[in-house]
Amino acid sequence: MTYECISVAREDRVGIVTLNRPKILNALNLQLVSELVHELERLDNDPDIGAILLTGGDKAFAAGADINEMAEASAIEIMKRDQFAVWDRISRISKPIVGAVSGFALGGGCELMMNCDIVIASETAVIGQPEIKLGVMPGAGGTQRLVRAVGLRKAMEMLLTGEPISAQEALRCGLVNRVVPVEAYFREALKLAKQIAAQPPLAVQVIKKAALKAEDLPLQDGMDYERNGFYLLLASEDRREGMQAFLEKRKPRFTGN
């Protein structure tokens, strides 16, 4: 499939997806989101890919849903489009997604960023949920994920004022993992994605799923879920290889089995 709104590349075992509508700050129109989900699912099913890197441009990761597309649409049209259902598929991607975020990450851009498992931000990042200023509210998980990410008070302030926060503030409140100079954010994120992609693939996916469950499940249910994952991995060939390699003092060769 050829894409118009994203570009794709690959380095080692990392699939790199770049949002590519720079003239309008990577505004997320229906076509972009549909291409993005298509590519993420394709990478998720590719056994030669161990991790995904999601990025935009230096000036904008994404400035939100495409307002041109929403401005004239009726509530019924938007409901019938079910435009946010496709977003739910992003949260079901089983391989880790590392976000490399610079410039504006607003509205749907912030929501997309929150779908990444780890985020490396440039010091120019500007992050927020400004929907209230348009008379609407987040529709792709902003109220729910922001509260979980930064806590109720900080999220309330961001959601009700619509004011963005800086990269440093996002770091302080746990919304991003690291802040680095703009020249370095992509390189740092790629390095991290490659490090994860070199880990045993089954363990990576089972750990990601278990960690995400911590946001939904009561502690004991989460512990039970974790334990089942642990037992499952004990049955893998990569577990045998990992432990054998340790005992033989050599590097393991993981196969994903």
Binding mask 167-206 for ligand CAA (x = CB under 6 A): ----------------------------------------
Q: Is-catalytic flag, 4?
A: no
What Rg do the C-alpha atoms of the chain give, in angstroms?
19
Which of 131, 188, 226, 238 touches ligand CAA by CB under 6 A?
Answer: 131
Interaction of residue 159 with ligand CAA, rule CB under 6 A:
no
Comparing CB distances to ligand CAA, the nearer of 97 and 197 is 97
- Report in angstroms the alpha-carbon separations of 208 from 51, 86, 92, 170, 188: 11, 21, 11, 22, 20
Binding mask 14-33 for ligand CAA (x = CB under 6 A): ----------xx-x------
What residues pair up with 53 in beta bridges, in sequence order?
A: 16, 98
DSSP secondary-structure letter at 223? Answer: H
Q: How far is the CB of 147 from ligand CAA (least distance, A)?
A: 15
Structure tokens at 228: 């089942």
Q: How far is the CB of 29 from ligand CAA (least distance, A)?
A: 8
Q: Is-catalytic flag, 111?
A: yes
Window contacting ligand CAA (CB under 6 A); options: 6-14, 102-110, 168-176, 226-234: 102-110
Interaction of residue 66 with ligand CAA, rule CB under 6 A:
yes
Strand order in the sheet with 97-101: 6-11, 14-19, 51-55, 97-101, 118-122, 178-180
Interaction of residue 57 with ligand CAA, rule CB under 6 A:
no
Comparing CB distances to ligand CAA, the nearer of 136 and 232 is 136
Q: Is-catalytic flag, 72?
A: no
What residues pair up with 127 in beta bridges, in sequence order?
A: 105, 165
Q: Is-catalytic flag, 215?
A: no
- Alpha helices of the chain — where are they, by DSSP H? 30-44, 67-71, 75-81, 85-90, 108-114, 142-150, 152-161, 167-172, 185-197, 201-213, 219-234, 237-247
Interaction of residue 147 with ligand CAA, rule CB under 6 A:
no
CA 150 to chain centre: 16
CA 8 to chain centre: 16
As annotated, the active-site residues are 65, 108, 111, 131
Interface residues toward ligand CAA, by CB under 6 A: 24-25, 27, 63-68, 104, 106-108, 111, 130-131, 134, 138-140, 142
